[in-house]
Amino acid sequence: MSTKFFTNENDNTLLSKIEGIFKHRNIHFFDALVGYFRASGYFRIRNFVEKADEIRILVGINVDNLIFEANKKGLLFVEDPTKSRDDFFEQIKKNIQEAEYDKEVEDGMFGFITDLARGKIKIKVHPKQNLHAKIYIFREKEKHNHGYGSVITGSSNLTDNGLSRNFEFNVELRDNTDIDFATYTFDKLWNESTEIGQEFVEKLKNETFLNDEFTPFEVYMKFLIEYFGKNIDFDPNSIQDLPQGFKKLSYQVDAVADGYNKMMKHRGFFLSDVVGLGKTIVATLIAKKFFYSNGFPSYLSQTLIICPPALKENWDDTLSKFGIHNYKILTSGSLHKLTKYQDYDLIVVDEAHKFRSDSAEMYFHLQNICKSNTRKILQDGTSEQKRVILISATPLNNRPEDIANLVYLFQDAKNSTLEVGNLQHFFRGQIDEYKKLKAEVDIQKLTIGVKLIYEKIRIKVIEPLMVRRTRTDLSENEEYAKDLKEQGVIFPAVNKPEKIFYQLDEHLDSIYDKTILYLSHPTKGLTYNRYQAIKFLKPHKKSKYPKADHTSTQLAFIMKTMLVKRIDSSFYAFKQSLKRFSVATNAMVQMFENDRIYIAPNISVNDYINEGKEEELITLLTNLADTDPTIEICNADDFEPHFFKGLKADKVLLDELMGYWSSIIQDPKLDEFKKYLETTLLNKSINKEGKLVIFSESKETTSYLSEELKKSGFDKILVVDSKTRKDRFPIVKANFDANIPLSDQKDDYNIVISTEVLAEGVNMHRANIILNYDTPWNSTRLMQRIGRVNRIGSMADNIYIYNFFPTAKVNKDIELEKKAIMKLQAFHSAMGEDSQIYSQDEVTESFGLFDKSINEEKDEKLRILLELRRFKRDNISLFKKIKNMPMKARVGRKNSTLTGATITFIRNEKRDAFLLVDDNGTVEELTFLQAERKYYANVTEKSIPLNHRHHEQVKIAIQLFTNRIEEEKNRERKIDTTQGPNEKKALAFLDALTNVETANHNERELLQNAKTAIRLGKFQHLQRDINKVAKTLKTTPLIPTILLEEVIKVLNKYPLTLIVDENIQVIQPVFNLKEFKPEIIISESFNN
């Protein structure tokens, strides 16, 4: 059908029409009247229309917007040529910035600017009315009656889409009268319009990425400004109303801002400043900011603090001082008592690393608390999610699965807010790699492999979720150091640990080494069968004890570890533990010989047997058997034969050890300690306050030391353990805490001897010397102990740490250390991999044996941020100029090692990426610090032209970035295909239950919510608990109705539904994050 109309279909487009007109006619004048003009549209037609001698483009502006803006200000809209010009300029600038990053497109943009500059095209904007008309007028130089041109009118604007991509409705008119009318109207409007002058051309070039005058230094600073964003703006006033006695420290102001932003973006974060830097204060300030930002005053947020019992009083005191009243403190072991999870908006978990095992009951309760919604209802009708602060100085000092479990407290395993959307998939790879490395015998390969795993976890997961400062960061960064000095805050220097060797004579050394052998050797040593009885029961009895093998093995391991630690702690503590083990083993042997073995975990069977009260025991067990299912009375035949054999072998070894140690009356460790106490530890030259803190893992050792020291005339000694901590905490505070007022400080005690109960949650920084009487077997514990005296407000200039090590009696110091190292390595072997100490090659460097200082890591990012802040402070005009540089700014640089390569900084909502594309097209993703080193430039460095492959390399980087985002999205869309076997079983089981006829609407909804939670990876225990119910069907078949009831009971333990209180006011969401496409921030190309 013949028609003058066309719709951009079947290649019959406005673009092809324009091309045809210029091809077949000698067009001298080209006029275009459009409502919207895009530079990209001009790029498409430039090759055709440049044949015309005069080109005029008239653009209508959006007057409606201008009227709206005027009315908002209470003004009457009046035509403003300057405003019209500026509005048009911003539209064109935006169009250039958003155009495809392509060499051909860019050449077209330069062509547009060039044509404007030389007057080839003229552009005007019309400010009086909204011009919705679209007219394209083509005329030859001379008018004649045989068709001297044509007019196209319709719906197409001069944009890329209007020219060819959109469905449009246009018509071409060729009558002279139509051409004349269109030209007359165009001329009339043209004369009323405002011309775009030459200044527009330079401005357009300077304010877009087409500017080729950016220097390498400016692009480097733009890179930093874009990366650090709001963190550059230090606002000391963000922390107000500090209680009396608290200083406003700049590093804490930064930590509050950074932590709050991370918490709001990712639903939670790790607060990991090192021990002694005031994590409690930072968390309290964030809680206060959250309270006033989360809907106050119409909504009053509630904060739940979860902490070890030892820290409860400190939290209560701090929160009260900072004026926070809407809070509850719950100790770590009491989570099961909490019922109304939805009452709390913010969860603060202190010592969060204690929740790293997802198999523990308290992890189950904590995850339910953190993953339940709040009472606050958003505008879309959904409930606001909780926010979580995990306080842990050492989030990376755990196995990969432990780190994952902590992250899963506020992130869904398969639907995270991080770049890594499917965390379960990511961690699975790291966990598998970690397990493979356990079999690696080459220590160097093992060390490198482990480092790579943790580097991935740190960059991909922990870094975006962590706020961490060390003392090194504070002392080496000018801004922080200056602030601390001005406020009189000085961190003492931590000296390298000093070694105290106690020497064993030849006889004692032989007994010592033989004892370690008996405690730990797999064939020549103890079997610990006394603690593995249920493991060796025959099946008909063993079935009563679920996880019998696991429980027994763990118990035996604990006993072995305890005995090894006791011999390291003190000979006195070891003798007491050895005696108890011997008595327990003898009692079990006696029960076997009497053919009556009692298994009763809740009763002290040993005491009855050893005191000859077997008849009383039988009566007691008989009475309790009906109420205590763990009680079992067995005969010897109920056990596997090798159980009793191992038990008797242990009795022989224990009798031998008891014989050895009963003859030992000397204590060289105690003797050496007393000598050091008089000559060094209380010496005024290093210990001006005369205060000393002594740690031991054993309560028996602390009691023993106290008694022995009192015999030697030391009477101002305070002993603290788990039973006495609560009562003696005020005494410790009065005698050792430098933060309390001078009027409240006392000197009743100068030595405190404590178990681990004082290793956290207490200040003892009137002291500056710590003695570890027994080896602190993991570095985290060592740092926690040191942190008791190395705190804000420490009184001394230096901190001293002393560690005891056993060694053989030898003459030369080097031999002394060598013997000590051998014993330390023997301890390490005895403790096994689960002790979380060090790998074999690290043992020899532990705790200062080879003069290794205790150094904290340095945060390079923090150093760069603070340098950027100084630059801003000292060069505010230049900083603003660079900050306002357009996105996509680029520069060419000389660099012989990177010749032919391009680095591009790309960003989207979830991540920043720094991609290096070399001359061969190979892509390497860099970390921020790697990229920073390559982008770094001096202020005097000159730029050079971009390399010839620049655009191609940037496009390669963009494509890789886009592909990875799509892959991640696809993983999330196809989430069912990535379910593990346990999840698949649970989902299949729930699918079957939804078909049970008796299921009501609420039950079906709960089943559906459970399936969704499994697919998202919301709760670690959920699929396991469901599968337990499914497993019982194999032994105890249930009718569908009863089965459904059992599953509903399980599901009701999880916050899968939330009852909304109708009286709660609807609150506007705090964040409204929008997705956006990958954006080029900057790029650099290199040549010789």
For range 29-48, the mean pLDDT = 83
Q: 497: pLDDT confidence band, cut at 50, 70 and 90?
A: confident
Q: 875: pLDDT confidence band, cut at 50, 70 and 90?
A: very high
pLDDT score for 840:
32
Question: How far apart are the C-alpha atoms of 518 and 944, rounded to whole Å?
Answer: 73
For range 733-747, the mean pLDDT = 92
Q: For residues 416 and 423, is the Cβ–Cβ distance under 8 A?
A: yes
Question: How far apart are the C-alpha atoms of 200 and 125, rounded to whole Å?
Answer: 13
For range 833-844, the mean pLDDT = 32
Give CB contacts under 8 A, 24+ apart, made by 743-747. 747/716
pLDDT tens, 842-865? 333 333 333 344 455 567 888 888
Round to the nearest angstrom and report the end-to-end CA distance of the chain.
62
Sheet with 303-307: strands ordered across: 327-331, 303-307, 346-350, 387-391, 268-271, 466-467
Residue 1064 has pLDDT above 60, yes or no: no
Residue 359 has pLDDT above 60, yes or no: yes
pLDDT score for 76:
39
Other beta carbons within 10 Å of 883? 13
Strands 135-140 and 149-154: antiparallel
Question: How far apart are the C-alpha atoms of 275 and 397, rounded to whole Å?
Answer: 14
Sign of the alpha-carbon torsion through 228, 230, 235, 240: negative
For range 14-18, the mean pLDDT = 90
Q: Considering only CA atoms, which of 173, 87, 183 is closest in space to residue 127?
A: 87
**CATH superfamily of domain region 5-206:** Endonuclease Chain A (3.30.870.10)
Phi then psi for residue 777, to 5 deg, are: -70, -15
Question: How far apart are the C-alpha atoms of 869 and 263, rounded to whole Å?
Answer: 23
pLDDT tens, 305-350? 999 887 888 899 889 988 888 999 999 889 999 988 999 999 999 9
- Here the tokens at position 883 are 């900050």
E strands, 899-1005, are: 902-907, 912-917, 923-926
Burial of 405 (0-12, 13-18, 19+ CB in 10 A): buried
Question: How far apart are the C-alpha atoms of 1058 and 1047, rounded to whole Å?
Answer: 18
Residue 73 has pLDDT above 70, yes or no: no
Q: Considering only CA atoms, which of 815, 795, 816 is closest in space to residue 806?
A: 816
Question: How far apart are the C-alpha atoms of 401 and 398, rounded to whole Å?
Answer: 8
Cα–Cα distances in angstroms (integers) from residue 983 to residues 421, 735, 872, 953, in the given order:
18, 55, 52, 42
Other beta carbons within 10 Å of 782? 22
For range 809-832, the mean pLDDT = 50
**From 3.40.50.300, 3.40.630.40, 3.20.20.70, 3.40.50.2000, which CATH number describes the 667-848 domain?**
3.40.50.300
Sheet with 27-34: strands ordered across: 5-6, 170-173, 149-154, 135-140, 27-34, 54-60, 121-126, 194-195
For range 666-684, the mean pLDDT = 94
E strands, 51-147, are: 54-60, 121-126, 135-140
pLDDT score for 669:
94
Q: For residues 795 and 764, is the Cβ–Cβ distance under 8 A?
A: no
Strands 121-126 and 194-195: antiparallel
What are the counts of helices (DSSP H) followed by strands (DSSP E) for the chain?
39, 31
Q: Considering only CA atoms, which of 274, 187, 146 is closest in space to residue 784?
A: 274
**Which ranges of 229-297 would DSSP assign to H, the alpha helix?**
250-266, 279-293
Question: How far apart are the C-alpha atoms of 53 and 74, rounded to whole Å?
Answer: 46
pLDDT tens, 83-111? 767 777 888 888 888 888 988 888 888 88
Rg (CA), the chain: 38
Phi then psi for residue 153, to 5 deg, are: -135, 155
Asked if domains 5-206 and 667-848 share a fold, the reply is no
pLDDT > 90: percent of the chain = 39
Q: 368: pLDDT confidence band, cut at 50, 70 and 90?
A: very high
pLDDT > 70: percent of the chain = 85
For range 551-573, the mean pLDDT = 87
Q: What is the mean pLDDT of the chain?
A: 83
Question: How far apart are the C-alpha atoms of 861 and 933, rounded to whole Å?
Answer: 12
User: Quick check: bond before 641 cis, omega within 30?
Assistant: no
For range 165-173, the mean pLDDT = 89
Q: For residues 753 and 785, is the Cβ–Cβ distance under 8 A?
A: no
H/E segment holding residue 361 = helix 361-371
pLDDT tens, 624-650? 765 677 788 899 999 999 999 999 999
Residue 947 has pLDDT above 50, yes or no: yes
Cα–Cα distances in angstroms (integers) from residue 200 to residues 30, 43, 62, 86, 119, in the given order:
22, 18, 19, 9, 12
Q: Report the SS3 class of residue 363.
A: helix
The domain defined by 242-469 folds into Rossmann fold (3.40.50)
Question: How far apart are the C-alpha atoms of 545 and 45, rounded to whole Å?
Answer: 83
Q: Considering only CA atoms, which of 79, 180, 69 is closest in space to residue 126?
A: 79
pLDDT score for 398:
63
Question: What 8-state DSSP symbol labels residue 944?
Answer: B
Phi then psi for residue 171, to 5 deg, are: -140, 145
Q: 62: pLDDT confidence band, cut at 50, 70 and 90?
A: low
Q: Which residues, at least 6 apart from 438, have a Cβ–Cβ distance to it below 8 Å?
A: 833
The angle formed by the CA atoms of residues 460, 463 and 468, to the nearest 5 degrees, is 165
Question: How far apart are the C-alpha atoms of 936 and 860, rounded to whole Å?
Answer: 14
pLDDT score for 133:
82
Domain boundaries, the chain: 5-206, 242-469, 526-662, 667-848, 886-1088
**Which ranges of 677-719 would DSSP assign to H, the alpha helix?**
699-711
Question: How far apart are the C-alpha atoms of 924 and 646, rounded to whole Å?
Answer: 58
Question: How far apart are the C-alpha atoms of 95 and 156, rounded to whole Å?
Answer: 17
Q: For residues 163 and 41, is the Cβ–Cβ distance under 8 A?
A: yes
